[in-house]
């Protein structure tokens, strides 16, 4: 098997030979598939220097010129869709068809923001006296550092890179240790697309060292992070020293309300996508279902039948729907959630067990439905990040909305009803940043993805996504 060994990408050069390696392993087979350097603070500092040097020229370019480079980058990513998808499946484990979907999703952020930079508008405001004008303008934030997760090895990078570069910022990315190879493929293509040196840099290795270095350097003006809520809280504390700007996309615990008038065929199709995409390892994964009493039994029965059709295995093989979990911790958590739920009265209608090979380091968990779920179960309160779906019963919509909101998280929520008045009330009552109404796949480049409460700060995607990379300045002018 061909192994992939990459160096860091700093100032348009490939550096870091001789450093200890971060070894990348296929979570479906345990095979060693490649490596990247385990860089020290020096590399982060070099990247900060490169991004600072590149900033004046890149930020002065017209939005149209930056857009042209991004458009070329988009075309190259799409030309290499199959190759990137294969690497992604090997390092993350998600089925190849999902990896291809992710490459397209990742590329869509580059395509969309290649255009959106042209719409960064300021405004002129009437002054407070005669011959006084106020001009409001927007300028790039400056050098941005990004820390990205393993669950979406490409899209969580481009969702930051697209708006940052389009706004005129320069970027340093720290990809995850589990899945850095997809990022390195993206860096190679950035070089080919003609993204100028220093505008996009990649530093691999330890995330703590990286965040300490970028957070203590005044030249870095913003940190954008996708990952867990505990790490997000630490970054908030670290950012205090410099009052650094932050965008944080953190954990979730998505509720799903299924009303008695829902179109169940559509609900099941959407629920399957919302739960089992990426083996349930997404921040917006359906984590708990509240089904109205009169359709509860039918939903449990039909979801069970649907889940039984899923094939679990190596995502590179044909016909696989659900890949492995990324690591032992994820596998053990899935097992704990199921055991706890069973102790508290849940009924496993399908799944409920995993298969671990600790020698190889591979961890598969069977897609699972837990019927008769109740509010005391850990799974109804803690993010699972695995292919397990608990289903509870409810009677009145108010009760379901209250239970849905009873969490520190506020990223994504879903509900299913054919009734517009009822749906409007539910959507207005849910304290979540992303709401799927008869929709289990709400993510899109043009939509402002992000959460309320402990699910994060800021938005990624859409018009709001580029604002995160802009400073507002006004000129008070006496004429």
Which residues have a catalytic role annotated? 249, 283
Q: Does 146 bind ligand SIN (CB under 6 A)?
A: no
What's the closest the beta carbon of residue 252 comes to ligand SIN, in angstroms? 8
Q: Does 87 bind ligand SIN (CB under 6 A)?
A: no
Determine the Cα–Cα distance for residues 372 and 394; give it in Å rounded to an integer. Answer: 11
Token digits of residue 146: 């990004």
Q: Does 279 bind ligand SIN (CB under 6 A)?
A: no
Nearest to 36 by CA among 152, 181, 231: 181
| 417 or 443: CB nearest ligand SIN | 443
CA dist 225 → 25, 198, 219, 447, 450 (Å)? 24, 20, 18, 18, 12
Interacting residues with ligand SIN between 18 and 77 (CB under 6 A) = none
Candidates 284, 286, 346, 371: give the one binding ligand SIN (CB under 6 A): 284
Q: In what order do the strands lie in the sheet with 434-437?
A: 347-350, 368-371, 388-394, 286-292, 254-258, 412-416, 434-437
Interacting residues with ligand SIN between 303 and 332 (CB under 6 A) = none
The residue number whose beta carbon is nearest to ligand SIN equals: 443
Strand 347-350, strand 4-5: pairing:
unpaired
Stretch that binds ligand SIN, among 40-48, 119-127, 279-287, 383-391 (CB under 6 A): 279-287
What's the closest the beta carbon of residue 462 comes to ligand SIN, in angstroms? 13
Residues 213-242 as b/e (b if ≥16 CB within 10 A, e otherwise) read bbbebeebbbbbbbbebebbeebeebbeee
| 66 or 160: CB nearest ligand SIN | 160
What's the closest the beta carbon of residue 250 comes to ligand SIN, in angstroms? 9
Stretch that binds ligand SIN, among 148-156, 299-307, 322-330, 470-478 (CB under 6 A): 148-156
| 155 or 202: CB nearest ligand SIN | 155
What's the closest the beta carbon of residue 402 comes to ligand SIN, in angstroms? 25
Determine the Cα–Cα distance for residues 89 and 181; give it in Å rounded to an integer. Answer: 11
What's the closest the beta carbon of residue 238 comes to ligand SIN, in angstroms? 21
Nearest to 66 by CA among 187, 194, 197, 224: 194
Token digits of residue 22: 């971060």
Candidates 238, 282, 314, 350: give the one binding ligand SIN (CB under 6 A): 282
Token digits of residue 11: 């100032």
Q: Does 292 bind ligand SIN (CB under 6 A)?
A: no
Determine the Cα–Cα distance for residues 424 and 65; give it in Å rounded to an integer. Answer: 42
Cα within 13 Å of Cα(29), Cβ side: 13
Q: How many residues bind ligand SIN (CB under 6 A)?
A: 9
Element (H, E) at 207: helix 207-215
What's the closest the beta carbon of residue 326 comes to ligand SIN, in angstroms? 13
Strand 388-394, strand 354-357: pairing:
unpaired
Q: Does 152 bind ligand SIN (CB under 6 A)?
A: yes
CA dist 479 → 122, 130, 375, 475 (Å)? 19, 9, 65, 12
| Cα 41 to the center of its chain, rounded Å | 26
Whether the CA torsion 104, 106, 112, 118 is positive or negative: it is negative
Q: Does 443 bind ligand SIN (CB under 6 A)?
A: yes
| 151 or 170: CB nearest ligand SIN | 151
| 116 or 397: CB nearest ligand SIN | 116
| 28 or 284: CB nearest ligand SIN | 284
Nearest to 94 by CA among 353, 317, 406, 354: 317
Determine the Cα–Cα distance for residues 385 and 389; give it in Å rounded to an integer. Answer: 11
Interacting residues with ligand SIN between 223 and 242 (CB under 6 A) = 226
Nearest to 397 by CA among 324, 304, 293: 293
Candidates 89, 148, 151, 314: give the one binding ligand SIN (CB under 6 A): 151
Element (H, E) at 107: helix 96-116
| Cα 380 to the center of its chain, rounded Å | 22
| 168 or 280: CB nearest ligand SIN | 280
Determine the Cα–Cα distance for residues 277 and 355; give it in Å rounded to an integer. Answer: 19
Q: Does 182 bind ligand SIN (CB under 6 A)?
A: no
Interacting residues with ligand SIN between 207 and 226 (CB under 6 A) = 226
**Residue pair 233/212 in contact by the 8 Å Cβ criterion:** no
| 284 or 379: CB nearest ligand SIN | 284
What's the closest the beta carbon of residue 432 comes to ligand SIN, in angstroms? 14
Candidates 283, 299, 320, 430: give the one binding ligand SIN (CB under 6 A): 283
What's the closest the beta carbon of residue 411 comes to ligand SIN, in angstroms? 8
Q: Does 454 bind ligand SIN (CB under 6 A)?
A: no
What 8-state DSSP symbol labels residue 445? T
Stretch that binds ligand SIN, among 181-189, 229-237, 282-290, 469-477 (CB under 6 A): 282-290
What's the closest the beta carbon of residue 443 comes to ligand SIN, in angstroms? 3
| 19 or 150: CB nearest ligand SIN | 150
Residue whose pair of structure tokens reads 């006004």 in the numeric block: 474
Where along the sequence are the contacts to ligand SIN (CB under 6 A)?
Answer: 151-152, 155, 226, 249, 282-284, 443
């Amino acid at each position: 098997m061909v192994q992939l060994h990459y160096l860091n990408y700093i100032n348009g050069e490939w550096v870091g030979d001789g450093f200890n390696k971060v070894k990348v392993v296929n979570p479906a087979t345990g095979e060693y598939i490649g490596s990247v350097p385990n860089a020290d603070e020096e590399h982060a500092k070099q990247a900060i220097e490169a991004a600072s040097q590149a900033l004046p020229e890149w930020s002065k370019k017209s939005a149209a010129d930056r857009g042209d480079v991004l458009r070329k980058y988009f075309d190259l990513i799409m030309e290499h869709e199959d190759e990137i998808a294969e690497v992604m499946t090997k390092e993350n484990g998600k089925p190849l068809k999902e990896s291809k979907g992710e490459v397209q999703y990742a590329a869509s952020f580059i395509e969309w923001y290649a255009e959106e930079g042209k719409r960064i508008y300021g405004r002129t405001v009437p002054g407070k006296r005669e011959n006084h004008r106020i001009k409001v303008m927007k300028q790039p934030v400056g050098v941005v550092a990004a820390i990205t997760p393993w669950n979406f090895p490409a899209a969580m990078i481009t969702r930051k890179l697209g708006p940052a570069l389009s706004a005129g910022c320069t970027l340093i990315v720290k990809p995850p240790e589990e899945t850095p190879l997809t990022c390195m493929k993206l860096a190679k293509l950035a070089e080919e697309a003609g993204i100028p040196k220093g505008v996009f840099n990649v530093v691999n290795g330890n995330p703590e060292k990286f965040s300490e270095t970028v957070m203590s350097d005044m030249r870095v003006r913003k940190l954008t992070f996708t990952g867990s809520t505990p790490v997000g809280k630490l970054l908030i504390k670290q950012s205090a020293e410099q009052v650094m700007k932050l965008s944080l996309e953190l954990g979730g615990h998505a509720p799903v309300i299924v009303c008695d008038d829902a179109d169940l065929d559509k609900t099941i199709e959407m629920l399957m996508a919302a739960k089992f995409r990426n083996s349930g390892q997404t921040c917006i994964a359906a984590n708990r279902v509240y089904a109205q009493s009169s359709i509860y039994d039918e939903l449990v029965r039909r979801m069970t039948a649907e889940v039984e059709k899923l094939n679990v295995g190596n995502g590179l093989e044909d016909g696989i729907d659900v890949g492995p979990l990324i690591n032992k911790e994820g596998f053990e958590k899935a097992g704990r959630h199921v055991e706890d739920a069973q102790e508290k009265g849940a009924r496993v209608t399908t799944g409920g067990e995993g298969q671990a090979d600790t020698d190889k380091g591979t961890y598969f968990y069977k897609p699972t439905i837990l019927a008769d779920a109740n509010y005391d179960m850990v799974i109804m309160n803690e993010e699972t990040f695995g292919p397990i779906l608990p289903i509870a019963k409810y009677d009145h919509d108010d009760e379901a909305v209250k239970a849905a909101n009873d969490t520190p998280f506020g990223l994504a929520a879903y509900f299913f009803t054919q009734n517009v008045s009822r749906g409007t009330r539910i959507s207005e009552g849910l304290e979540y940043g992303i709401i799927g109404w008869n929709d289990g796949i709400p993510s899109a480049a043009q939509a402002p993805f992000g959460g309320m409460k402990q699910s994060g700060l800021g938005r990624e995607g859409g018009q709001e996504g580029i604002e995160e990379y802009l400073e507002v300045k006004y000129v008070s002018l006496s004429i």
